[in-house]
Amino acid sequence: MFEGVGTALATPFNEDFSIDFESYKKLIRRQIKGGVDSIIVLGTTGESPVINEYEREKLIETAQETVEGKVKIIIGTGSNDTNKVVKLNAIAVKYKTDAVLIVNPYYNKGTQSSLIQHYQYISERTSLPIILYNVPSRTGMNVLPETAIKINETCKNVVAIKEASGNISQIAHLLAIKNNSFEVISGNDDQTIPIMALGGVGVISVYSNAFPKELKEITTAMQKNELQQAQVLNQKYLKMMSLLFEETSPAPLKFVLNKLGICQNILRLPLAPVSKQTENRLLNELEKYEKY
């Protein structure tokens, strides 16, 4: 259902910190031209914690109008308030999006049991397909493989997980015990190949904001079992993938997107632009790309 490349879209801002919708549309069109399979609106890369309710709806509406049905639209609706997730899902239903991406609750520090109850409660209150999102580096809580399987088995519309734990052993275990109705998607660009080699279906990406065609080449090679070709491409692009996390994402990405002429290098606090040192490292790597 969610194979290939899904781009976790950045949210461009103007100098007054309002949303730059023209640049946002330009970014979406870049994804379509680059051949991605889906876009994720209001994920971590989209700075969702600092987007208000009016802006959320406007971003979703603009994405729908720009995509024109050419790629799937997934909406980030995660929160550490279970009832807020239900309300955000209702907005996604209103705009007839393809799925919702729900990060596990952060800060509250629940248990694996309470995590299962959280997703069961949400699942019962939306008809949309749900993608779990495990990113313990940001949430402080790890969704264990057995927990993900239990959620999938008890929630008929939980169909996939974006796995960004970075723990390949954990992900391999999850892929070994899951059933065929549950998809595993890499949440880290640099782990796309190992996760797909183990049975994952693709990646939800930061890198593809800037370079959709390049990442699509990797996932296509993996889908065709052309491992050597995928490895060659991965080695070529790996340094930039890593540099995009040199400082807190999406700050490095915003710098690169600015150099590509897509949007301004502006973030909303508490995030801020990258340091001069990181700028220089990004520029040096960007020069290796044949064509911006």
The structural domains of the chain, with segments of one domain joined by +, span: 4-226
Distances (CA, A) of 223 to 217, 230, 271: 10, 10, 36
19 DSSP assignment: B
What's the Cα-to-Cα distance from 41 to each of 102, 124, 161, 254, rounded to whole Å?
A: 12, 23, 17, 16
Q: Which phi and psi (to 5°) does residue 76 adopt?
A: -75, 120
Annotated catalytic, 133? yes
pTM: 0.96
Number of alpha helices (DSSP H) and beta strands (DSSP E) in the chain: 12, 8
Domain 4-226 architecture: Alpha-Beta Barrel (3.20)
3-state SS, residue 280: helix
Condensed to tens digits (0 to 9), the pLDDT of residues 171-217 reads 999 999 999 999 999 999 999 999 999 999 999 999 999 999 999 99
Angular region, 69: left φ>0, alpha ψ -120 to 50, beta rest: left
At residue 170, φ and ψ (nearest 5 deg) are -65, -45
82-105 burial string, b = 16+ CB within 10 Å, else e? beebbebbebbeeeebbbbbbbbb
10 neighbors 250 (Cβ within 8 angstroms): yes
- At position 105, the amino acid (one-letter code) is P
User: Which candidate, 192, 115, 109, 100, places its Cα nearest to that of 149?
Assistant: 115
pLDDT digits (tens, 9 = 90+) for 227-260: 999 999 999 999 999 999 999 999 999 999 999 9
Name the catalytic one among 24, 133, 207, 237. 133
Residue 209 to residue 89: CA distance in whole angstroms: 24
- Among 162, 178, 216, 254, which one carries the catalytic annotation? 162
Instruction: Give the mean model confidence (pLDDT) for residues 73-93.
Output: 98
With pLDDT > 90 as the criterion, what percentage of the chain qualifies?
98
pLDDT at 290 over 80: no
Instruction: Provide long-range contacts, Cβ within 8 A and 24+ apart, for 266-273.
Output: 266/12, 266/13, 266/14, 266/15, 266/17, 267/13, 267/47, 268/13, 268/17, 268/47, 268/50, 269/50, 271/47
Within its chain, how far is the Cα of 210 from the centroid? 14
Q: What is the C-alpha to C-alpha distance for residues 44 and 237, in angstroms, rounded to an integer?
A: 22
| pLDDT attached to residue 291 | 57
